Amino acid sequence: MSKTQLSVLINLANSDGQIDDSEKSLIIKIGRAHGMSPEDIDYMIQNPVDKVDLSKLTNEDRFDTLYNLVHLMKVDGEIFDEEIMYCLNMARKLSYPLEAVMDLYGFVHANVKLTSEINKIKRKYDK
């Protein structure tokens, strides 16, 4: 995971005006799982980058980013219009149609990862 990907997640969490504790926890968990230090993650949360360059992301990174966006949007149990709009906008920038977000939405849950279903969706949109 790159700082670009984590920045996208931080921007989604900030899209409704504040980062909820469950959102922050997931961002930290994702960042740490990809080798980032807690200090780097905290710095990024405190100093979000508005514009991120997605052009260097691989197909794998693009899908992981989309998956994590949907996961983060759902993690706190509240979905705001700003979060939906940000997620849809990012999907477009990641070259995914609205349908990809909707496909993931049904299979991404806060505490459960349905790997086989997620992989089917990934294959469906693999370029």
DSSP state of 76: T
Provide the pLDDT for residue 79.
86
Phi, psi (deg, nearest 5) at residue 95: 70, 35
Q: What is the mean pLDDT of each run of 10 residues along the chain (127 residues)?
A: 89 90 93 93 93 92 94 88 93 95 84 75 85
CATH of domain 3-125: 1.10.3680
User: CA–CA separation, 17 vs 44, rounded Å?
Assistant: 16
Domain ranges of the chain: 3-125
Phi, psi (deg, nearest 5) at residue 113: -115, 110
Provide the pLDDT for residue 85.
93
Provide the pLDDT for residue 117.
82
Provide the pLDDT for residue 115.
79
Helix %, strand %, coil % for the chain, to 5?
A: 65, 0, 35
3-state secondary structure 26-75: HHHHHHHHCCCCHHHHHHHHHCCCCCCCCCCCCHHHHHHHHHHHHHHHHH
User: CA–CA separation, 21 vs 125, rounded Å?
Assistant: 32
Question: pTM for the whole thing?
Answer: 0.87
Maximum Cα–Cα distance for the chain, whole Å?
37
